[in-house]
């Protein structure tokens, strides 16, 4: 499909010339003589590129550029066209979001080269866009395909959704998948407590809580009331998650019964052992993930390596597999991944995720303390250790434990570990 280019210039001869040349190159061209006409065209069509003159009557090109780029949703590249004496202004315009500039009188070779480069750049996602893009459910196994069908059928509903599955199995990935289906291009809202619910309920978004068992009874009641609230005319939706299933929640005295009842209808996210046939595809996905986002070297897992990893038991589920791929890519930059390398790195990976493998601590817990105190005792020891392994970097800690940085700051402060943090 041909790219659409909007030419904005107050000189009729230049508009006509550019229209003829660009159409000869196969582009669709719209023309506007001033800012008002340009805005009218942009309201009715979506250009892939704008060629914008700097000096125009009423509203100049730089002012118009600033207006367009003030919108976070505006990703259309703009190339400024500058006459004699306006080159400095054109250079300055690149600071406000212009892709590039061309000088008048126009060199057609230079113009066409710049147009091609600008259109190409618009098709490439930025590093920021890549990093902000959520992980996707990966796999073509029957269990993954059926789960996708189930989530696809739920995308137009505002009813609360409940997920269960082992830690690391990908509950958050599936929640993000549904969020993208329901509200494309709008980030899912992560809530570590219910305190942000009232402020978030006006949003057109999915509101996600990772672990219902981390909420105290008062928070659970407030959450229950919010779920029971008729939101048929609203735009938000709750997605609630837990590593526990209904029976475990019902037996937990810290979980109020009406909340536990929700998990009778929970969707279970399968463990990795249940769809090992997806591991080759997952390996390729995470290789590309780290190559694109962190510029780690691209390396290929051969058939023998894939078979070895398919037959491996992953205590840390999908989270362990993902971290393992990163470790392999960071180990060296040779294109081929040898079996000896995989076996060596698997030992380290299992030691980090498998209980009783040497990466353990002894805790003395008073069994008369309540559950919250016992949990905090463990969390303090666990996060203190993970923080040390992360070099006191909150960013690295968030990656290691699979939590949002904002939530971690609060948790560390609550546990008295906040003085150790370092960004």
Domain with residue 389: its CATH number is: 1.10.10
Q: What is the mean pLDDT of residues 28-42?
A: 95
Q: With 80 as the cut, is the pLDDT of residue 369 above it?
A: no
Distances (CA, A) of 240 to 62, 165, 189, 200, 399: 47, 12, 12, 15, 21
253, 281: one domain: no
Distances, alpha carbon 268 to alpha carbons 30, 209, 303, 410, in Å: 52, 16, 30, 29
Is the same domain home to 389 and 327?
no
Q: Do the domain assignments include residue 297?
A: yes
Out of 99, 128, 157, a domain closes at 128
- Least confident range from 246-255, 354-363, 365-374: namely 354-363
CA gap 400, 415 in Å, rounded: 18
User: How many CB atoms lie under 10 A from the CB of residue 42?
Assistant: 18
Two tokens, residue 285: 């996905």
Residues in the chain: 423
Residue 362 lies in a domain: no
Query: Domain residues for 330?
Result: 272-353
Tell me the C-alpha to C-alpha distance, in Å, between residue 13 and each of 31, 82, 234, 402. 12, 15, 52, 59
* Residue ending a domain, choose from 83, 101, 128: 128
Mean pLDDT check: name the lowest of 151-155, 361-365, 370-374. 361-365
- Residue 108 near residue 24, CB atoms below 8 Å: no
Count of domains for the chain: 4
Average pLDDT of span 291-315: 91
What was the pLDDT predicted at 361?
54
Domain shared by 113 and 196, yes or no: no
As a whole number of angstroms, the distance between CA 134 and CA 23 comes to 38
Is residue 332 in a domain? Answer: yes
Q: Above 80 in pLDDT, residue 48?
A: yes
pLDDT level of residue 360 (50, 70, 90 thresholds): low
Q: At residue 390, does pLDDT exceed 50?
A: yes
* pLDDT over 70 at 331, yes or no: yes
Q: Is the pLDDT of residue 371 over 70?
A: yes
pLDDT in tens, 252-282: 988 999 999 999 999 999 999 999 999 999 9
Lowest mean pLDDT among 19-28, 71-80, 177-186, 353-362: 353-362
Q: Which of 231, 134, 238, 116 is nearest to 180 (CA)?
A: 134
- pLDDT value at residue 189: 73
- If pLDDT is split at 50, 70 and 90, which confidence band does 327 have? very high
Which whole number is the average pLDDT over 390-406?
A: 79
Gap between the Cα atoms of 22 and 112, Å rounded: 8
Q: How many CB atoms lie within 10 A of CB 387?
A: 22
SS3 73: coil
Residue 376 pLDDT exceeds 70: yes
- Please give the share of the chain, as a percent, with pLDDT higher than 90: 43
Out of 128, 154, 186, pick the residue that ends a domain.
128
The verdict on residue 134 lying in a domain is: no
Clarify whether residues 214 and 251 are in a common domain: yes
pLDDT tens for 148-200 read 999 999 988 888 899 999 988 999 999 999 888 877 656 677 766 555 555 45
Where would I find the beta strands (DSSP E) of 234-280? 237-242, 267-268
Q: Tell me: do 25 and 86 sit in the same domain.
A: yes
Q: Are residues 251 and 277 in the same domain?
A: no
Instruction: Give residue 130's pLDDT band: very low, low, confident or very high (50, 70, 90).
Output: very low
Mark whether 12 and 123 lie in a shared domain.
Answer: yes
Beta strands in 237-323 (DSSP E): 237-242, 267-268
- Cis before 105 (ω within 30): yes
What value does the mean pLDDT take over residues 106-132? Answer: 73
Res. 362: pLDDT tops 70: no
Q: Report d(CA 312, CA 306) in Å as an integer.
A: 10
Highest mean pLDDT among 242-246, 349-353, 363-367: 242-246
The pLDDT of residue 123 = 65
Q: Are residues 92 and 30 in the same domain?
A: yes
Q: Using 50, 70 and 90 to split pLDDT, how confident is the model at 20?
A: very high
**Which CATH number goes with the domain that contains 47?**
3.40.50.2300
Q: How far is CA 166 from CA 230, 242, 278, 314, 401, in A?
A: 31, 8, 18, 12, 14
Residue 106 has pLDDT above 60, yes or no: yes
Q: What is the pLDDT of residue 103?
A: 87
d(CA 261, CA 257): 6
**Which residues partner with 374 through β-bridges?**
none
Q: Highest mean pLDDT: which of 69-83, 109-123, 224-238, 258-272? A: 258-272
pLDDT of 236 over the 80 cut: no
Q: Does 140 or 403 have the greater pLDDT score?
A: 140
DSSP code, position 422: B
**Residue 354 Cα distances to 310, 347, 358, angstroms:** 17, 10, 9
More confident residue, 354 or 300: 300
pLDDT at 238: 87
Q: Phi and psi (nearest 5°) for 279? A: -60, -45
Q: What is the reported pLDDT for 73? A: 61
Q: Evaluate the CA torsion angle 423, 353, 179, 283 in order and state its sign.
A: positive
Using the structure block, give the residue that is written with the tokens 């037959």.
311
Specify the range with the lowest mean pLDDT, choosing from 68-72, 332-336, 339-343. 68-72
Which 3 state secondary structure label does DSSP give 32? strand
Mean per-residue pLDDT of the chain: 83
> Where does the pLDDT of residue 417 fall: very low under 50, low under 70, confident under 90, or very high at 90 and above?
confident
- Could you tell me whether strands 78-82 and 100-103 are parallel, antiparallel, or unpaired per DSSP bridges? parallel
Going by pLDDT thresholds of 50, 70 and 90, the confidence category of residue 87 is low
pTM over 0.85: no
Instruction: Note whether 407 and 192 are within 8 A (CB).
Output: yes
DSSP SS3 for 206: strand
- Using DSSP, state whether 208 is helix, strand or coil: strand
Residue 378 has pLDDT above 70, yes or no: yes
The answer to whether 156 and 149 have CB atoms below 8 angstroms apart is no
């Amino acid at each position: 499909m041909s790219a659409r280019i909007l030419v904005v210039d107050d000189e009729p001869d230049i508009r006509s010339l550019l229209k003829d040349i660009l159409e000869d190159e196969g582009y669709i061209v719209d023309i506007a003589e001033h800012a008002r006409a340009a805005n009218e065209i942009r309201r009715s069509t979506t250009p892939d590129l704008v060629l914008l003159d700097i000096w125009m009557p009423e509203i100049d090109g730089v002012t118009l550029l600033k207006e367009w780029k003030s919108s976070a949703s505006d990703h259309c590249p703009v190339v400024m066209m500058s006459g004699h004496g306006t080159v400095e202004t054109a250079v300055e315009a690149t600071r406000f979001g212009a892709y590039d500039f061309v000088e008048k009188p126009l060199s057609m070779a230079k113009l066409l080269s710049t147009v091609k480069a600008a259109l190409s750049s618009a098709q490439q996602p930025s590093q920021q866009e890549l990093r902000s893009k959520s992980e996707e459910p990966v796999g073509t196994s029957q269990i993954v395909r059926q789960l996708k069908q189930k989530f696809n059928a739920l995308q137009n509903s505002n009813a609360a959704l409940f997920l269960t599955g082992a830690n690391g199995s990908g509950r958050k990935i599936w929640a993000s998948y549904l969020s993208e289906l329901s509200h494309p291009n709008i980030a899912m809202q992560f809530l570590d407590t219910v305190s942000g619910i009232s402020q978030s309920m006006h949003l057109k978004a999915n509101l996600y809580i990772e672990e219902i068992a981390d909420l105290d009874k008062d928070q659970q009641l407030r959450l229950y009331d919010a779920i029971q609230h008729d939101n048929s005319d609203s735009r938000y939706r709750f997605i609630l998650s837990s590593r526990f299933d209904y029976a475990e929640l019902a037996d937990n005295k810290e979980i109020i019964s009406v909340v536990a009842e929700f998990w009778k209808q929970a969707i279970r996210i399968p463990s990795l052992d249940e769809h090992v046939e997806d591991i080759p595809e997952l390996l390729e996905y995470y290789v590309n993930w780290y190559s694109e986002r962190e510029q780690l070297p691209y390396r290929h897992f051969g058939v023998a390596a894939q078979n070895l990893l398919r037959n491996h038991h992953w205590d840390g589920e999908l989270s362990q597999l993902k971290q393992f791929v990163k470790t392999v890519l960071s180990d060296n930059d040779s294109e081929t991944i040898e079996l000896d390398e995989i076996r060596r790195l698997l030992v380290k990976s299992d030691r980090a995720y498998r209980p009783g493998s040497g990466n353990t601590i002894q805790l003395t817990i008073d069994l008369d303390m309540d559950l919250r105190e016992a949990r905090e005792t463990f969390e303090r020891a666990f996060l203190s250790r993970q923080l040390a392994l992360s070099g006191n970097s909150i960013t690295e800690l968030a990656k290691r434990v699979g939590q949002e940085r904002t939530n971690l700051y609060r948790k560390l402060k609550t546990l008295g570990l906040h003085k150790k943090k370092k960004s």
